[in-house]
Each structure stands twice: as structure tokens, then as C-alpha cells.
Chain A
Amino acid sequence: SYVLAIENEYIRATFDSETGLLMKIENMEQNLSLPVSQGFFWYKASTGDEESTQASGAYIFRPSHPKPLPVSRWARIHQVKTALVQEVHQNFSAWCSQVVRLYPGQRHLELEWTVGPIPVRDNLGKEVISRFNTPMKTNGQFYTDSNGREILKRRRDHRPTWRLNQTEPVAGNYYPVNTRIYISDGHMQLTVVTDRSQGGSSLKDGSLELMVHRRLLVDDERGLAEPLMDSGTGKIVRGRHLVLLSSVSDAAQRHRLLVEKEVLAPQVVLAQGDGSPYSSR
């Protein structure tokens, strides 16, 4: 048993060598350390139950159980270390893998996930999430953005303008995440920046999750008349989560600049050879 870590001048990410899962993130610049366990889980999609016939579908997210199942409790890992990049490749299953990456000078950890094709031979619709568990005391609160602009405070099982009777413990606490979601204990903040709009929540104190892919077998009867089922073998989805750990006072500046760079990312164009001089005249 040994400790596996990738680090640059600002961040260190430590992995459990037994399970291959992320175990701890440290911000060495601000002397912050947070045990973080991250993995992939899936919610079994409801096809209707005694309480309601409503099935999970394209419009509706309705898991049949509040507790998701792990895709795998461990990951096969492969480490790459060069002067310009350090990566840990995690293989959770035949349809779920991730690369945890760190470049020099970077203040965030990059998690590039690849999920799919989601298997449905067991006749179960699946809604796959990436979940971060930490010991942070977040008091039932988390934050999501509204179209990359205003950050809104979300409180579990609560609505600010009416008395809520929560009937869906998971879906009723899911909110749109356009660019970022974060949790904080008043001292430090864990922010996850997304590369696309996703659904996200914090269902337990210190926990944060984002839905990355879904494949369903039953129509939710909201007018579409088709289940959310890819034709053929199913879609493979690849995306990135950028994870920032920082002090609360410093977090806003960091995630704002990072989101700007993610949304308006540099564009790469290639050309062979030297070309010929060009004048607009």
C-alpha cells in the first residue's frame, strides 16, 4: 500500500492506492486540506410506483430509490507524469472512466470523464452521476449559478417563497447548473466548474453531485412519446469538471476567471505547411 499523488506548485491530489479513488485535495498555497472521495454512481430510474405512476423520462428525473448505486467501488489506475502534465487514469468499468489531470501553474484539478454507452440489458434505466463526498459541514446549503451570472443559494428541502412538502427527496433537490456548483463551510469552498449545463445537487452535508449521462427505457408521458433511449449501442459522452479548493474569501475571484476561460475557451486551428502571402486587396 502506498500513497499515489499528483501535484504542482499549488495543488496536490492524493489517491487511495487500494481503491484508485480520489482521497484528498490540498491547496498548498493557502494551506488548505480537504478529504474528498469522488466516484461515479447511478440512480435506478423509476417506471412508476405505488405513490405515483410517473416514470423517469426525458422531461422528468425520478429515481426509484434515493440511494444511488456505485458504478464500481474501485478503479483500475494508470499514472502518467511528465514535466508538463500529470495524470491519473481511472477505469471504473467498461463504460465509465476518468482522467484526473494537473498542469503546472494550474490552480484547479481537471477531471475528464467518459461515460457510456450505458448498459440497459438488465432492463433498468440509469441516470449516472459524479459525486464528491467531503466532511464539510454545509448546513443543508449549496450554491448553483443562473446562466453563469447570479449565484443562487439553494437549501435542501426548502423553497424561499413557500412551505415545501418535499415528495421527491432526490429530484426535488436537483437544480440547473450552467457553469458552476459549490459548497462551503464558511472557511473553505469546494467549487466544481462544468463544461456544459447539467443538473446538480447536494443531498447530504458535504456532498456535491452532478448528473453526467442518462439512458431510460420508458417514456414519461409528457408529450414526447419516446423513451430517452439512444438508438443503436448508445452514446458515449465525454466532459470535464474543474475542481477548485480555496478559502471562501478567495473563491469568487478564482471561479469567475476560470469559468470565463472555460466558456470562452481558446480555439485551435491547424494548417499544414507554410501557406502563401495574402493581401486583402
Chain B
Amino acid sequence: TGDSAPLKEAMAVLQHHDAITGTARQNVVNDYARQLAAGWRPCEVLVSNALAQLSFYKQNFSFCHELNISICPVSQNSEQFQVTVYNPLGRKVHQMVRLPVSEGIFFVKDPNGKTVPSNVVILPSSYSKKYLCELVFSASVPALGFSIYSVVKVTVHNSQAQSLQASPRRPR
């Protein structure tokens, strides 16, 4: 069962200036982090349930909290995955989606099944001497709605991946 109340409560506690400006003692900061993490977990279930109901498809949704530092186990380890982009604004937006991936060639299809231009960008890592690969594509998302994009990695075995198995679904 999903629940947004624990996150609301954690956010209410974190309105205090100690949480915003860093004027809290270390043990209090640790507790703020604990409350946020505990609040987010049932909220993820709530979002998953909402997406399942709106898209009519039940999925094991993954939330990548470390996308800003190019860590996302699903996109890095999967040959095929779906990207749901939700737009909370009351107008249509175009958003550049960046996902860390393993080295390779990828095909991205929009909700109407059309292939969208994508690039795999090879970047120097800030943390190690290794290079990172990031898949970049532009997503178009309707006002207060979501779009589901399908991504397939092309390997020797599925070089005919042009006919993507993942069935795209229209934006809602």
C-alpha cells in the first residue's frame, strides 16, 4: 500500500530553518535524512500504483535517486527498459533525458512508436579515471501528464531490434 503521509510529515519537519540552512547538529541532520528516506519509500509505492492505474500497466518501477551522479542500475544493466517522464507543469514541456548506460548502441522510441534521435555521450568521470556513457534523448511530455519511452540496446544477438519488443503507449 502506498502512502504519501510519511513524506508530507517529513517535509513538514524539514521546513525548519535548521534543515534548510544547515544550522542543525550532526545527529539532527542524520535524523532529518532518516525521516526523508523513510517517507520516500511508501511514496514510491504510491507513485507506482498511480502510474499503473493511469497507464493500465503494472510494472516494477525503479526510482533512480543518484541520476545526478550518473548512477542508475536499471539503465546501466538492462538491455531493454522503459522510461516514464511525468510533467507536473500545466503546459507541455520538452525535457532532455540523460541516463547512464553501458557502452553500446541504443534505439529509443516515443509513445507513438517512432524512433527519436538519441546519442550515447562518453564523458570523463569526476570520481575515477574511467569514462561514463550516458544516453541522451529529448522527451516531449504533455501538460500534467506523462510519456513512456522505450529503450533497447542493440547487441549482436538482437541487431534486428528495430522492431522493438517493448510496446509504446500513447501519452496520457
| Chain A interface residues toward B at CB < 8 A | 58-59, 78, 80, 82-85, 87, 89, 97, 103, 105, 114, 197, 222, 224-226, 228, 231, 238, 260-261, 264-280
B20 within 8 Å of A (CB atoms): yes
Q: Whole-angstrom distance from the CB of A91 to the nearest CB of chain B? A: 8
Which residue of B has the minimal Cβ distance to A228?
B22
Contact yes or no, A261 B82, CB < 8 A: no
Q: Whole-angstrom distance from the CB of B87 to the nearest CB of chain A? A: 5
Contact yes or no, A270 B74, CB < 8 A: yes
Contact yes or no, A272 B78, CB < 8 A: yes
Contact yes or no, A58 B23, CB < 8 A: yes
Contact partner of B136 (CB less than 8 A), chosen from A85, A222, A268, A269, is: A85
Chain B 101-129 interface mask (CB, 8 Å, partner A; 1/0): 00000000000000001110111101000
Given contacts A114-B126, A228-B22, A231-B26, contact A84 B96 (CB under 8 A): yes
CB contacts (< 8 Å) of B86 on chain A: these are 266-267, 269
- Interface members, chain B 42-72 (any A CB < 8 Å): 47-48, 51-53, 55-64, 67-69, 72
Q: Whole-angstrom distance from the CB of B115 to the nearest CB of chain A? A: 14
- Interface members, chain B 1-50 (any A CB < 8 Å): 20-26, 47-48
Range of interface residues on B (Cβ < 8 Å): 35 or more
Contact yes or no, A85 B96, CB < 8 A: yes
CA distance A279 to B126 in the complex (A): 45
CB contacts (< 8 Å) of A266 on chain B: these are 85-88, 93, 95, 139, 141
Given contacts A80-B121, A114-B126, contact A270 B25 (CB under 8 A): no
For the complex of A and B, the 3 pairs showing the least CB-CB separation, nearest first, are: A275-B59, A278-B58, A271-B59
Contact yes or no, B57 A277, CB < 8 A: yes
What are 17 contact pairs spanning A and B, CB under 8 A? Answer: A80-B123, A82-B119, A83-B117, A84-B138, A87-B123, A238-B69, A261-B93, A266-B141, A267-B88, A269-B83, A270-B61, A271-B74, A271-B82, A272-B82, A273-B60, A274-B82, A280-B53
Contact partner of B81 (CB less than 8 A), chosen from A85, A114, A270, is: A270
Contact yes or no, A268 B58, CB < 8 A: no
CA distance A78 to B126 in the complex (A): 12
Contact yes or no, A276 B63, CB < 8 A: no
CB contacts (< 8 Å) of B81 on chain A: these are 270-273
Contact yes or no, A84 B117, CB < 8 A: yes
B97 within 8 Å of A (CB atoms): yes
B167 within 8 Å of A (CB atoms): yes
CB contacts (< 8 Å) of A265 on chain B: these are 95
Contact yes or no, B62 A269, CB < 8 A: yes
Contact yes or no, A264 B167, CB < 8 A: no
CB contacts (< 8 Å) of A271 on chain B: these are 59-62, 74, 81-82, 84
CB contacts (< 8 Å) of A78 on chain B: these are 124
B157 within 8 Å of A (CB atoms): no
Given contacts A269-B47, A270-B75, contact A105 B94 (CB under 8 A): yes
Q: Which of A269, A276, A279: most chain B CB closer than 10 A?
A: A269
Contact yes or no, A270 B72, CB < 8 A: yes
CB contacts (< 8 Å) of B58 on chain A: these are 275-278
CB contacts (< 8 Å) of A85 on chain B: these are 96, 119, 121, 136
CB contacts (< 8 Å) of A276 on chain B: these are 57-58
